[in-house]
């Protein structure tokens, strides 16, 4: 069935988490009609608590997001749509109203707006090791600043992902006795010496699985059969942008050091005029506070582009 396109919002924000809701707040306070479309799967949903966020250390991620949504509901120009955007296009507008974008949702409806903001986050591409996925966010972790404190002084592993893992292991050793799990990979002599000097153990064997009562970790089983006791394991997974919308719009995607991200200018506009991006999908440093700050910048820049007619 063909569903009619609604009259345009000033902006549609796709992704209603740290970056998207922070952007929407700026637009709401500028009294602009903004629609936030969100599929409800923030990247840190696997963690019971979010750490390090200003004045909110230790609050569960969904509680933080719900509180932000609640504050936004006070602004009558904000609308929420719970659902997934499955397509986004730039359309010609010959009515003199400037450019327009349409966003198709998974329920078959279509929204329209003068600007888009992609705050879709990223997906972590986790190594396929038995028992790793169900411990993600609890005892298998990526960021020591987010979750290292809770394991302070305990036995910590770092799973080799790239030569950068040597530096990752040196960092993790500041939280507790650390072992770099090479998982069958090799490191050079200089790296081995550096690790030795910093007291980081090196385990060359292939990791065949993680063990312990879920979601906790008791140790990693090595292919040769030995169990290496550990309370937490850190990995630095590669990431990919969580939605194919950017490609559909023609936004340029670049390959950063940890995976794909949207190319943006200093005011968070993508390579497509009128399409902005913020948060993990549009920067290399991934953290809820930084995503929120990025969203603020994108929201303000998008608003100014509406005022100035930039990109129309
Ligand atoms: C396990 C884990 C724990 C973490 N813990 C912490 C922590 O303690 N402290 C900290 O500061 N950071 C933490 N982080 C990092 C933090 O989660 C991210 O930096 C932050 O969530 C990025 O915010 P974002 O708004 O860019 O993206 P996300 O929070 O990932 O939000 C993206 C949103 O967009 C939605 N979306 C995606 N595609 C579509 C679509 N097509 N249509 C509609 N909606 C869509 C998603 O459903 C989601 O709600 C953690 C990360 C992980 C993996």
CATH number at residue 108: 3.50.50.60
Domain interval for residue 117: 9-123+238-308
Tell whether 107 and 137 lie within a shared domain. Answer: no
Q: How much distance in Å is there from the Cα of 250 to the middle of ligand 1? A: 23
Domain annotation covers residue 1:
no
Tell whether 17 and 92 lie within a shared domain. Answer: yes
Tell whether 135 and 72 lie within a shared domain. Answer: no
Closest listed residue to residue 104, CA positions, set 274, 249, 291: 249
Q: What domain count does the chain have?
A: 2
Tell whether 209 and 170 lie within a shared domain. Answer: yes
| Residue 268 CB–ligand 1 contact under 6 Å | no
Q: How much distance in Å is there from the Cα of 42 to the middle of ligand 1? A: 4
Q: Say how many C-beta atoms besides its own lie within 10 A of residue 259's C-beta.
A: 17
Out of 13, 16, 17, give the residue to mutate to test ligand 1, the one with the largest number of ligand atoms within 8 Å of its CB. 17
Domain annotation covers residue 186:
yes
Q: How much distance in Å is there from the Cα of 203 to the middle of ligand 1? A: 32
Tell whether 291 and 259 lie within a shared domain. Answer: yes
Q: How much distance in Å is there from the Cα of 46 to the middle of ligand 1? A: 10
| Residue 288 CB–ligand 1 contact under 6 Å | yes
Out of 19, 37, 38, 43, give the residue to mutate to test ligand 1, the one with the largest number of ligand atoms within 8 Å of its CB. 43
Tell whether 41 and 168 lie within a shared domain. Answer: no
Give the pLDDT of residue 156.
98
Q: How much distance in Å is there from the Cα of 7 to the middle of ligand 1? A: 30
Domain annotation covers residue 4:
no
Domain annotation covers residue 49:
yes
Domain annotation covers residue 147:
yes
Which of 208, 234, 260 terminates a domain? The answer is: 234
Cα–Cα distances in Å, from 220 out to 138, 163, 224, 293? 15, 21, 11, 37
Domain annotation covers residue 29:
yes
Give the pLDDT of residue 1.
47
| Residue 13 CB–ligand 1 contact under 6 Å | no
Tell whether 133 and 188 lie within a shared domain. Answer: yes
Tell whether 18 and 119 lie within a shared domain. Answer: yes
Tell whether 141 and 101 lie within a shared domain. Answer: no
8 A C-beta contact, residue 57 and residue 79: no
Tell whether 156 and 14 lie within a shared domain. Answer: no
8 A C-beta contact, residue 268 and residue 298: yes
Give the pLDDT of residue 256.
81
Tell whether 136 and 280 lie within a shared domain. Answer: no
Q: How much distance in Å is there from the Cα of 244 to the middle of ligand 1? A: 16
Domain annotation covers residue 56:
yes
Domain annotation covers residue 2:
no
Tell whether 219 and 252 lie within a shared domain. Answer: no
Q: How much distance in Å is there from the Cα of 78 to the middle of ligand 1? A: 21
Which of 234, 259, 279 terminates a domain? The answer is: 234
Does the global pTM surpass 0.75?
yes
| Residue 125 CB–ligand 1 contact under 6 Å | no
Which of 212, 234, 256 terminates a domain? The answer is: 234
* pLDDT per residue of the chain (312 residues) written in tens, 0 to 9: 455 566 689 999 999 999 999 999 999 999 999 999 999 999 999 999 999 999 999 999 999 999 999 999 999 999 999 999 999 999 876 555 556 899 999 999 999 999 999 999 999 999 999 999 999 999 999 999 999 999 999 999 999 998 999 999 999 999 999 999 999 999 999 999 999 999 999 999 999 999 999 999 999 999 989 999 999 999 999 999 876 899 999 999 998 888 999 999 999 999 999 999 999 999 999 999 999 999 999 999 999 999 988 556
């Amino acid at each position: 069935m063909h569903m009619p396109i609604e009259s345009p919002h000033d902006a549609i924000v796709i992704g209603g988490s740290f970056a998207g809701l922070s952007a929407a707040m700026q637009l709401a306070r500028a009294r602009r009609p903004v629609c936030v479309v969100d599929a409800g799967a923030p990247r840190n949903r696997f963690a019971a608590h979010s750490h390090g966020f200003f004045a909110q250390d230790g609050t569960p991620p969904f509680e933080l997001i719900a509180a932000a949504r609640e504050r936004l509901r006070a602004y009558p120009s904000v609308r929420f749509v719970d659902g997934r955007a499955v397509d986004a296009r730039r359309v010609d507008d010959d009515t003199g109203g400037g450019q327009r974008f349409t966003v198709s949702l998974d329920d078959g409806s279509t929204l329209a707006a003068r600007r888009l903001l992609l705050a879709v986050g990223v997906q972590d591409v986790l190594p396929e090791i038995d028992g790793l996925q169900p411990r993600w966010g609890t005892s298998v972790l990526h960021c020591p600043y987010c979750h290292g404190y809770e394991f302070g002084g305990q036995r910590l592993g770092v799973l080799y992902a790239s030569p950068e893992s040597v530096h990752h292991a040196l960092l993790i050793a500041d939280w507790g006795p650390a072992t770099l799990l090479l998982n069958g990979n090799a490191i050079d002599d200089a790296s081995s010496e550096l690790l030795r000097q910093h007291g980081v153990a090196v385990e060359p064997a292939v990791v065949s699985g993680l063990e312990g009562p879920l979601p906790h970790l008791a140790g990693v089983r090595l292919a040769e059969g030995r169990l290496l006791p550990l309370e937490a394991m850190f990995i630095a997974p590669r990431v990919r942008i969580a939605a194919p919308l950017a490609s559909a719009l023609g936004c340029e995607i670049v390959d950063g050091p940890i995976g794909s991200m949207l190319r943006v200018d200093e005011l968070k506009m993508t390579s497509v005029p009128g399409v902005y991006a913020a948060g993990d999908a549009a920067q290399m440093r991934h953290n809820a506070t930084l995503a929120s700050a990025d969203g603020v910048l994108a929201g303000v820049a998008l608003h100014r582009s509406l005022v100035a007619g930039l990109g129309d």
